[in-house]
Amino acid sequence: MASRAANNRLTREYQTLSTNPTPFISAHPSEANILEWHYILTGPPDTPYHNGQYWAWSVSTILIGLLSFMTSEEMTTGSVGGTDAERRWAAQHSRWWNSTGGGSHKDITGKTSQKGNIKAGDGGAKFAAEWPEVDAENWKWMKETKVDIMTGNPARDPSASTSTNCGPGIGGLKRPRGSQPVVGAVVEGGRVVGEEGKSWIRRNKLLVVGGLIFTYVLIARLLGEGPGT
Within 13 Å, how many C-alpha atoms sit on residue 19's CB side? 6
CB atoms within 10 A of CB 29: 19
Q: Is the pLDDT of residue 134 over 90?
A: yes
What count of other Cβ atoms lies within 10 Å of the Cβ of residue 2?
14
Question: How high is the pLDDT of residue 218?
Answer: 60
The pTM of this model reads 0.55
pLDDT computed for residue 206 by the predictor: 63
Question: How does pLDDT run across 138-159, given as a tens digit for each residue?
Answer: 999 999 989 988 888 887 755 5
Name the CATH superfamily, with its identifier, for domain 4-183: Ubiquitin Conjugating Enzyme (3.10.110.10)
Q: Per-domain residue ranges for the chain?
A: 4-183, 187-229
Which residues have CB under 8 Å from 94's CB, separation 6+? 52, 53, 54
* Beta bridge mates, 54: 41
> Has residue 173 got a pLDDT over 50?
no
Nearest to 96 by CA among 143, 130, 133, 27: 143
